[in-house]
Amino acid sequence: MITWDDIVARGRDGNLTPPRRDDRTEAEWKAVLDPATFEVTRHAATERPFSSDMCSLFTPGRYGCACCGTVLFDASEKFESGTGWPSFTQPLEDAVVAYHVDRTHGMVRVETVCNVCDAHLGHVFPDGPPPTGLRYCMNAVALSKVADDH
């Protein structure tokens, strides 16, 4: 299980090797993504809070990167954070999410990106529920529900 100390160390020192890479150009991503997904995932924008039904969706399944399809989270790790964005306690596999220190907006946070295609997903915070104590606060447009059972 990943810890906050692991995340901080990776954001500072480097991330795990991804399971594969998808290095399409910006033009290639723009051609296949809708405008909102493109802005969030490729330009690190943030969708409005409570703008997606995904926040209240708790059916079994898995969530993948909306860009490359890499499976990132399992619904069993999803919880209601009250923030207006889908939240998870941990990624499905350790090497699918990468971490970068984010010093924008006058604060220090840890950005999460898909480790396969570098899509901006959201941020992770150390204020989640047990057992990890982590809150992966994701943009819904950066995720897609990829399976209803597992």
| Residues designated as active site | 137
Q: Distance between CA atoms of 124 and 34, rounded to whole angstroms?
A: 25
